Structure 1
Amino acid sequence: MPISRSCDHCYVQKKKCQRNKSQAKCIRCARLALDCSTARHSRPPGRPARSKLLGPAAEIQVWASEKGIPGSKNAESQTASPPLSQSASTDAASEQDLLATDDLSCSIGHDAQSKLHDVLQELGQNQQKGTPAPEPTDEEFYTLNDIFMIGPTFAKDFRRALNYSYSKSPHLLRDMFSAMIKYMMNSTKLNPTTPVHAEIAGVADLLRTLQATEIANTHDALAVLVLGQSLAALDTFIVSTGSMLILRHSLYLVKPWYPQLAQVDFLDPVTMTPLFWELLECLIKREIPIIRPRIHRPAVVDRLVGLCVTLMPILYDLCEVSHELKVQSQPEMHKLDIIKQQVLSWTPYEAFLHGSNFTDSEIMLLRAQAAIYRSATLLLIHRLKYQLSCQDGIAVSYANDILAERDKILLCGGPNTKLQFGCFPLFLALLEIPLRPENLWKSATKLSYCPPCAEQFFSFHKYFWQQRWDGYKGSLFDLIDSGPMFIAVP
């Protein structure tokens, strides 16, 4: 029977699909030596994806559901169809963006030598009436965005990455950056106002932008990656309901282009963070992340990941093993012992710290963060092997190591020191030692108020300990799956 519709590659690229009766492949696929198939579905198979409604009055609709995201608890396979519009395959992407890495590197190299226009100066002045504001300094940039960086030394590189991504795709990032600047200006006030209906509605518009975006080259991919992580962060602060759906959708779209982006050190401040954040979520949900981290430069010290960059591939492997334990009737438990030995052997790459511009306070925070994430990983492995009320003493010892590192930081750094990006390990420790999470939250962030993501964990923490005091002796991860929803916060 003759094929009456376009092949998958032509359909994705919106090209005319022409065929010769004597050839099995269409003319375009034959010329480019691509597989020519029509395996796609006209619409997603099975029941329609269930909508997610966010916000106190359901102002935001997250279009995707866990069913369409590879590695999620409802996914049927790792080769499931994309949650929305199909992103281009690696082969199709290479046709439109030949030598993408070289082109991107050349573009970045040129911009690194020249002066990039400052996003904060352009969009920040729109928040205030009057004459154009002078370009902010790196110190002012850090003051406004400190919750996204371990210390002020990271401000310059983070700022350059944001400026570059905006310069290449302002049509995709202008509204997102404007919304984030407005939010950050409000959050730095002593008495920040609660997000209003207009702000939540603005997030809905940004969601639709992400949903409708089609990636044609590496600059589009970079913009989607920045848009996805920024929108997920904004959602976490405002309503904290669809953050992971948003982040994972953007990572799925970017996946074919991620190898090119990850090889450019200029972009590390925006390419490391989303992978790390998703890794943490997948660890507690026993799912498989969208993208496997590839560490091209072990000397990287990231604004959020810190010295834990080389730990990320181990965390990915742990996600894979934990997912196997979740879905297989006879899991191979010895794999956990292998990963445990890798974690015990892992040491953060500190050679880059010597002779660097990092302050003594930043180096102290970086080392503390690496130590508590190492302990947190060992704690997770332990709880994958043993149910609650079994081998609890070892679990408590890991939790004590995390809290002891926190106490040392507060003692050495003073009362104003915040263990930025240590929330995830601290929250895990609180599932072994029944302390009030509200008190630890204040020492883990520079936010002047408690956002919805923290309130969600407080609710889960209360539920968790009520279950334990009522005699629950099952798996920690089963309680996480069945209890009140909360999102992993780095």
Structure 2
Amino acid sequence: MPTSRSCDQCYAQKKKCQREKGLDKCIRCAHLAVDCSTARYSRPPGRPARSKLLGPAAEIQVWASQDRSPASRTPGSQSTEAQSLSPLSQSASTITVSEQEPLGIGHLNSPVSHGVQARLPDILQELGQNQQQITSAPEPTDEEFYELIDIFMIGPTFTKSFRQALNYSYLKAPHILRDMFSVMIRYMTSTSKPNTTAPAHAEIAGVAELLRKLQATEIANDNDALAVLVLGQSLAALDTFIVSTGSMLILRHSLYLAKPWYPQLAQVGFLDPVTVTPIFWELLECLIKRETPIIRPRIHRPHVVDRLFGLCVSLLPILYDLCEVSHEMKVQSQPESQKLNVIEQQVLEWSPDKSSLQSMPFTDSEIMLLRAQAAIYRSASLLLIHRLKYPLSCQDGIAVSYANDIMEEKDKILLYGGPDTKLQFGCFPLFLALLEIPLRPESLWKSLTRLSYCPACAEQFFAFHKYFWQRRWDGFKGSLFDLINDGPTFMAVP
């Protein structure tokens, strides 16, 4: 008999919870294809208990978490799930090959190869439905999909290609990705409502379990490698939102595991939405930490427009070379390198391929954002090169001019785009600019993201920014990168 209590989703968003006789889900949850549960606790009477810290400095080290699984997981469920195929992957009308069959680049040039139809069953549809229901939940529309995970795309035009890549990755390795998608959907659903003040720490146990899965995964073929790339970047993103203590460790571990299969995966065009992102993200971290990235990017399609990095994909090889030269200078304690001048000239000559904008039906707003993003990443690259050449308080005028170029592009976007426009995936260049122009990052952050709360990674940068300017005002005249190494920990955010 259906419960008369409002479900957790409707209760959280203050919506009326309506149910139809004979259905285990309310009408709203069935339409959105999300879990319909009533697992929340009622507030106990009396004075609230005192809050407890979640760990040192109120952080959780998810790598070391001892909570081995969510409360809802039963003993042995992990081994049972790993040995069985999901109902989605068992559909003979959708897949005609084993999930473990390698990609086979000679045959795989489109998502319809290997018996996979162009219209794939949706991961959200399966994970959102009750497996005891006879009737499947309705397939989420692209609009609903974008509304749920819009923070992972520059604009809605990228929805179909990103959704397709995620579906394919899941269909080929459900034993690796099923739990990941469940955790991500729950997290994004719980944090997408307005006025969210804190991330959902209830998902920590699920994330910790997935981290153990990532550590224990052995890659047998390119399908597993693809799934590990998706798992690694998803876990890194969750860690960035919640605690930001091991995001880059997670991402680099997944890249290391998948590295032998990357040349093969990079040739498959429709997988770009999940293969470009982790490489570019790690590369940004290596730029500020002066390290060498794990994987050298292979650009087989120079006209790619990425869901996160837009028109900047063709800049990847240049930035990789910049990481190598910077690391070489760091190890050998060289103040400057002739190679650095060559790379600087390459960045100066680089410009995004505007013809790429014809590859997809982008809106005017998306085109404006894509062009602005390319411009600020170019300026940020030149700013980094300048700071590799000169310490702080030396040639500051040139550094400030690059920073001003970045800020002016941001101002133009906010001026012409309207109050709801967000310069997503411009965080890295803008944060670099704030190390040359003493503005408060807290006020700038709201113009960069659609998140309804301030994630842990932003709080970390705020702390570093405060430390950085205190040192500069105290007369520090050394290298920017010395302060990055010695100051409060923060990570590169795309």
Output the CA distance in 1 between the equivalents of 2:58 and 2:173: 28
Q: How does 1:299-318 map to 2 (within 5 A)?
A: 299-318=303-322
Change (3 A) 1:376 1:103: same
Deviation at 1:97, TM superposition (A): 8.5
Amino acid at match of 1:476: L
Output the CA distance in 1 between the equivalents of 2:349 and 2:209: 46
Partner of residue 379, structure 1: 383
Partner of residue 451, structure 2: 447
Partner of residue 343, structure 1: 347
Output the CA distance in 2 between the equivalents of 1:255 and 1:457: 30
Question: 4+ residue runs of structure 1 moved beyond 4 angstroms?
Answer: 52-55, 96-99, 103-108, 129-132
- Whether the 8 Å CA contact 1:289–1:316 is kept in 2: the answer is yes
Deviation at 1:191, TM superposition (A): 2.9
Q: Does 1:229 align with 2:233?
A: yes
Q: How does 1:42-441 map to 2 (within 5 A)?
A: 56-58=59-61, 60-61=63-64, 100-102=104-106, 104-105=108-109, 109-110=113-114, 113-125=117-129, 132-192=136-196, 194-330=198-334, 333-354=337-358, 356-441=360-445
Partner of residue 461, structure 1: 465
- Whether the 8 Å CA contact 2:125–2:137 is kept in 1: the answer is yes
- Whether the 8 Å CA contact 2:157–2:360 is kept in 1: the answer is no
Deviation at 1:186, TM superposition (A): 1.4
Deviations 1:68-94 (A, max 9, x none): xxxxxxxxxxxxxxxxxxxxxxxxxxx
TM-score (norm 1): 0.79
- Whether the 8 Å CA contact 1:121–1:133 is kept in 2: the answer is yes
- Whether the 8 Å CA contact 1:54–1:61 is kept in 2: the answer is no
Output the CA distance in 1 between the equivalents of 2:227 and 2:57: 24
- Whether the 8 Å CA contact 2:157–2:362 is kept in 1: the answer is yes
- Whether the 8 Å CA contact 2:242–2:456 is kept in 1: the answer is yes
- Whether the 8 Å CA contact 1:161–1:266 is kept in 2: the answer is yes
Output the CA distance in 2 between the equivalents of 1:483 and 1:55: 19
- Whether the 8 Å CA contact 1:149–1:155 is kept in 2: the answer is yes
Output the CA distance in 1 between the equivalents of 2:474 and 2:443: 24
Output the CA distance in 2 between the equivalents of 1:114 and 1:323: 44
- Whether the 8 Å CA contact 1:53–1:62 is kept in 2: the answer is no
- Whether the 8 Å CA contact 2:273–2:306 is kept in 1: the answer is yes
Change (3 A) 1:346 1:333: same
Output the CA distance in 1 between the equivalents of 2:483 and 2:342: 26
Deviation at 1:331, TM superposition (A): 5.9
- Aligned with 1:366: secondary structure? helix
Output the CA distance in 2 between the equivalents of 1:130 and 1:320: 56
Change (3 A) 1:411 1:358: same
Deviation at 1:60, TM superposition (A): 3.6
- Once superposed, what is the RMSD of the aligned Cα atoms? 2.5
Q: Does 1:480 align with 2:469?
A: no
Per mean C-alpha deviation after superposition, the further-off stretch among 466-475 and 130-139 is 130-139
- Whether the 8 Å CA contact 1:53–1:60 is kept in 2: the answer is no
- Whether the 8 Å CA contact 1:54–1:241 is kept in 2: the answer is no
Amino acid at match of 2:172: K
Partner of residue 77, structure 1: none
- Whether the 8 Å CA contact 1:279–1:289 is kept in 2: the answer is yes
Output the CA distance in 2 between the equivalents of 1:353 and 1:367: 10
- Whether the 8 Å CA contact 2:335–2:389 is kept in 1: the answer is no
Output the CA distance in 2 between the equivalents of 1:443 and 1:245: 28
Deviation at 1:106, TM superposition (A): 7.5
- Aligned with 1:344: secondary structure? helix
- Whether the 8 Å CA contact 1:175–1:206 is kept in 2: the answer is yes
Output the CA distance in 1 between the equivalents of 2:216 and 2:155: 35
Deviation at 1:103, TM superposition (A): 5.3
Change (3 A) 1:324 1:223: same
- Whether the 8 Å CA contact 2:111–2:270 is kept in 1: the answer is no
Per mean C-alpha deviation after superposition, the further-off stretch among 345-354 and 403-412 is 345-354
- Whether the 8 Å CA contact 2:282–2:293 is kept in 1: the answer is yes
Show structure 1 runs of 5+ residues with no match: 1-51, 64-95
Amino acid at match of 2:298: R
- Whether the 8 Å CA contact 1:60–1:201 is kept in 2: the answer is no
Partner of residue 83, structure 1: none
Amino acid at match of 2:252: R
Output the CA distance in 2 between the equivalents of 1:196 and 1:111: 39
Deviation at 1:104, TM superposition (A): 4.7
Deviation at 1:115, TM superposition (A): 2.9
Sequence identity (%): 76
TM-score (norm 2): 0.78
Amino acid at match of 1:219: N
Deviation at 1:100, TM superposition (A): 3.7
Matched residue count? 407
Amino acid at match of 1:61: A
Amino acid at match of 1:484: P
- Whether the 8 Å CA contact 2:110–2:270 is kept in 1: the answer is no
- Aligned with 1:240: secondary structure? coil
Deviation at 1:59, TM superposition (A): 5.0
- Aligned with 1:272: secondary structure? helix
Deviation at 1:114, TM superposition (A): 4.0
Deviation at 1:195, TM superposition (A): 3.9
Amino acid at match of 1:421: F
- Aligned with 2:311: secondary structure? coil
Partner of residue 85, structure 2: none
Output the CA distance in 2 between the equivalents of 1:135 and 1:98: 28
Output the CA distance in 2 between the equivalents of 1:355 and 1:335: 34
Per mean C-alpha deviation after superposition, the further-off stretch among 196-205 and 108-117 is 108-117
Output the CA distance in 2 between the equivalents of 1:308 and 1:112: 31
Partner of residue 37, structure 1: none
Deviation at 1:288, TM superposition (A): 0.3
